[in-house]
Amino acid sequence: SATGQGTSERTFDRREILVGGGLAALALGGAWPGAAWATPATPRVTHALQLAPTDFSIGDTHVRTWAFNGSIPGPEFRVKQGRPVRFVVKNDLPEESSVHWHGIRLANAMDGVPGITQDPIAPSGEFVYEFVPPDAGTYFFHPHVGLQLDTGLYGSLIVEATHERQAYDQDVVIVLDDWLDGVKGRSPMKEYMRLRKIGMPMGMRPRTPKRPYVGLDGRTPAAGSLGWIANALESGSTDPGDVSYPYYLMNGRPPEDPWSLRVHPKQRIRLRVINAAADTIFSFRVGEHPLTVIACDGQDVHPIETDAVVLGMGERIDLLLDASQSGAHEITADALGKSNKAVGVLRYTTATAARATPGSATNLRVAGY
């Protein structure tokens, strides 16, 4: 079993740092004040996590990949703010791994970055992560080793507030991902080697410029604003990433077999949207429903009403949606600057039509942080 005590020296090239997660500020969270750093001696809640090879179906496509507890996305853990938690992690992969708790303020020894904060968990090994989550909010977990995040190794960690300030009827997690592992012989490592060979050219093929996004005031977005950046990504005038993926998934489902959310009229829904993708920026919207941003990356924000939100890789945005319409509506996560999207369906209990109505593709107010 790995102990997390001591590390061996190694060097990193730029790409290893980028594909391994790259957010050193999160890995070095000990600089943040006010967190509950002490490891509890007798945690009250214990969870089990297994990293292992898994068979996974994307519509009619069947792949062999890696996952937590045999599911993609992995488990949705809900824990209490300020309450000790304990995760017993078993590594049944054929290579070393770890678990990084993305966005959680915790002691370095529990942060899951091999070579920096812990020794890697060897194949057939175990590691016990113990911490007290100090902040309520939406977080997720994934390995911090090589290209493992670009398999199915990710899951959500929801820290429920001691005193919740928002009122809602449903609390729903939506995980977005870009996917190529096991599709037509592709794999993250093969794609990485291809990119090394061709030098990772910046940008995709330019497309016809368009302006589907406007500012929150409905006007043409100012240069450098989020709406302006989204339009630049869509037109191909700025770099949307290095990889064009065959699939973009919403809660593990492709557009032809969409994930569905069932709601009652007049309900208020909290949507916790997580971008677990490796190389894709998403624009997220729900038909013609206005959305209210209430939190970003686990931190409450002043509420903002918008039509769409933009999430970079690793971002999480919490939204409120009022179920004030009827029928079935397309939940859309456009892969900005790329040629496809992740799709789900919001379906009212009173809906009779089978087909979901897509939202407007133009003049969308866009927000994000």
pTM value? 0.87
Q: What is the pLDDT of residues 113-169, one digit of tens each?
A: 999 999 999 999 999 999 999 999 999 999 999 999 999 999 999 999 999 999 999
Q: What is the pLDDT of residues 8-39, one digit of tens each?
A: 333 334 333 333 433 333 333 333 333 444 44
Max CA-CA distance within the chain? 62
Residue-level pLDDT at 206 = 59
b/e burial code for range 242-267 (CB count within 10 A of at least 16 → b): bbbbebbbbbbbbbeebbebebeeee
Q: What is the pLDDT of residues 167-211, one digit of tens each?
A: 999 999 999 999 999 999 999 999 999 999 887 665 555 566 667
**Average pLDDT value for residue range 261-275:** 97
Q: What is the pLDDT of residues 54-67, one digit of tens each?
A: 999 999 999 999 99
